[in-house]
């Protein structure tokens, strides 16, 4: 893109300087410079990496991806509004608010970038924190879920489901999703745990998870794949932000995978992984396949490394739609969609989906399923079998 010769820097909330440094934390934990950015009048961003300059209309895609979103984003917008003099509702934030947040409070973000010198110092100070001992984890989770006070540190995970971040002795850096016992979401969390476990057994790398429960809550603890040990980090970008930068389509997982394979951003094996995630999702009633639910990992040199392990794959078609309303537990209605007639995809996906629904039917879950869910699972085993029969030559 053309580099402007003269552009005035814009004023930012709280008098934040319009020229800022961005740092990268490597997988070893070392910190290196990543870029210098200038926020210019009219909303553009001028980025300099080494000798290369690039002008973006708004924020660079990695900054858009790092910005607060979802459940945690809404919590922290309320938490910092007074201090930073920003709107309380995340809905009212624009790029200037996102910049103000990232360069003053952006800690423990997704991926490996740290925005500005102040958050970098805070990240280094945080290395002194002691991880949560395994024996105290559940009590801590109950406290955080009850008070939601854990959102004070970190803002990285997007997504709409209630969640918080943690750092444990046994499982390292985690995202913890939680739901009130007896609710539909509480019944779905063990299904997410099962789905990711079965996908990894099928050969699709998937986030490692565990189910914990107390009298009042069910927790799904998800180990972060953008962290290495205590201090190392791995770069990450959602498929959505990659798509916005290079393709501008935001259509389906399979079409995204095909475009990325063609452009050589990902390998044929990674495209297969995404297609199997999509087909398996179709067969377990996971219609929530937006492009924030797959990501690409970025290596220490800034190159695409691979598709990130699978996450957020569960029968979302049965998730509460709000207002205390739960969809009826009717059998899935799978469609071929943009996956097409691909026996190499449908065969492993069907085997995995069939193992998934049989496990639910037989009640071999981390927490017992309701009878209604088991009845549904028994019917879905049959639907999967009938649906894939013409797609998988025997």
Ligand X SMILES: Nc1ncnc2c1ncn2[C@@H]1O[C@H](COP(=O)(O)OP(=O)(O)OP(=O)(O)O)[C@@H](O)[C@H]1O
Q: Which spans of this chain sit near ligand X (rule: CB under 6 A)?
A: 70, 110, 157-161, 175, 207, 222, 224-226, 238, 288, 292-293, 295, 311-312
DSSP conformation class of 270: H
Separation of alpha carbons 56 and 118, rounded Å? 24
Residue 108 site contact among ligand X, Mg ion, none (CB < 5 to 8 Å, cut-off depends on kind): none
Residue 33: strand pairing partners: 23
- Residue number, 199 or 351, with CB nearest to ligand X: 199
Least distance between ligand X and beta carbon 142 (Å)? 20
Asked whether the beta carbons of 353 and 384 are under 8 A apart, the reply is: yes
Q: In whole angstroms, how far apart are CA 215 and each of 147, 161, 178, 212, 269?
A: 16, 20, 13, 11, 43
Count other Cβ atoms within 10 Å, centred on residue 36. 14
What's 90-132 look like in SS3?
Answer: HHHCCHHHHHHHHHHHCCCCCCCEEECHHHHHHHHHHCCCCCE
- Residue number, 61 or 159, with CB nearest to ligand X: 159
x/- track of binding to Mg ion for residues 285-304 (CB under 5 A):
--------x-----------
Strands 295-298 and 232-233, by their bridges, are unpaired
- Pull the structure tokens for residue 357: 């629904």
Separation of alpha carbons 134 and 129, rounded Å? 15
x/- track of binding to Mg ion for residues 150-179 (CB under 5 A):
---------x--------------------
Residue 73 site contact among ligand X, Mg ion, none (CB < 5 to 8 Å, cut-off depends on kind): none
Least distance between Mg ion and beta carbon 293 (Å)? 5
- Residue number, 229 or 390, with CB nearest to ligand X: 229
Under the criterion CB under 5 A, does residue 312 sit at the interface with Mg ion?
A: yes
Least distance between ligand X and beta carbon 381 (Å)? 25
Least distance between ligand X and beta carbon 321 (Å)? 12
Residue 160 site contact among Mg ion, ligand X, none (CB < 5 to 8 Å, cut-off depends on kind): ligand X
Phi, psi (deg, nearest 5) at residue 72: -65, -35
Residue 226 site contact among Mg ion, ligand X, none (CB < 5 to 8 Å, cut-off depends on kind): ligand X
Least distance between ligand X and beta carbon 326 (Å)? 16
- Residue number, 145 or 350, with CB nearest to ligand X: 145
Q: What Rg, from alpha-carbon coordinates, does the chain have?
A: 22
Least distance between Mg ion and beta carbon 311 (Å)? 7
Q: How many CA atoms lie within 13 A of 280 on its CB side?
A: 34
Separation of alpha carbons 194 and 172, rounded Å? 21
Least distance between ligand X and beta carbon 208 (Å)? 8
- Residue number, 159 or 348, with CB nearest to Mg ion: 159
Residue 59 site contact among Mg ion, ligand X, none (CB < 5 to 8 Å, cut-off depends on kind): none
Counting DSSP H helices and E strands in the chain, the numbers are 11, 14
Residue 240 site contact among Mg ion, ligand X, none (CB < 5 to 8 Å, cut-off depends on kind): none
Under the criterion CB under 5 A, does residue 309 sit at the interface with Mg ion?
A: no
């Amino acid at each position: 893109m053309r580099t402007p010769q003269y552009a005035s820097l814009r004023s930012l909330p709280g008098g934040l300087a319009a020229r800022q440094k961005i740092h990268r934390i490597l997988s070893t934990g070392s910190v290196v410079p990543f870029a210098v950015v200038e926020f210019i009048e009219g909303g553009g961003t001028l980025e300099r990496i080494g000798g290369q300059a690039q002008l973006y209309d708004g924020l660079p895609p990695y900054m858009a991806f790092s910005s607060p979103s979802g459940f945690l984003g809404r919590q922290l917008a309320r938490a910092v509004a007074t201090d930073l003099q920003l709107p309380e509702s995340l809905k009212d934030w624009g790029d200037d608010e996102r910049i103000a947040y990232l360069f003053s409070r952006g800690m423990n973000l997704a991926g490996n970038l740290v925005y500005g010198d102040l958050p970098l110092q805070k990240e280094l100070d945080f290395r002194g924190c002691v991880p949560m001992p395994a024996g105290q984890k559940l009590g801590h989770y109950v406290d955080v879920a009850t008070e939601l006070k854990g959102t004070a540190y970190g803002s990285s995970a997007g997504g709409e489901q209630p969640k918080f971040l943690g750092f444990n002795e046994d499982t390292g850096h985690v995202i913890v999703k939680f739901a009130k016992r007896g609710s539909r979401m509480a019944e779905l969390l063990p299904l997410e745990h099962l789905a990711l476990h079965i996908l990894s057994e099928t050969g699709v790398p998937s986030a490692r998870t565990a189910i914990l429960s107390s009298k009042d809550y069910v927790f799904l603890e998800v180990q972060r794949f953008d962290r290495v040990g205590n201090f190392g980090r791995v770069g990450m970008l959602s498929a959505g932000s990659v798509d916005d930068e290079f393709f501008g389509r935001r259509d389906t997982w399979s079409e995204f995978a095909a475009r990325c394979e063609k452009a050589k951003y990902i390998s044929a094996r990674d495209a297969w992984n995404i297609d199997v995630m999509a087909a398996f999702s179709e067969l377990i009633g996971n219609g929530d396949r937006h492009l924030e639910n797959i990501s690409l990992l970025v290596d220490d040199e800034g190159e695409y490394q691979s598709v990130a392990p699978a996450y957020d794959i569960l029968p979302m078609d049965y998730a509460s739609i709000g207002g205390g309303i739960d969809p009826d537990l009717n059998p899935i209605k799978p469609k071929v969609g943009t996956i097409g007639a691909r026996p190499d995809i449908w065969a492993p996906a069907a085997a995995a989906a069939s193992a998934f629904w049989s496990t639910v039917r037989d009640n071999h879950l981390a927490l017992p399923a309701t009878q209604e869910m088991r009845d549904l699972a028994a019917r879905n085993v049959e639907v999967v079998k009938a649906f894939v029969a013409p797609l998988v030559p025997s």
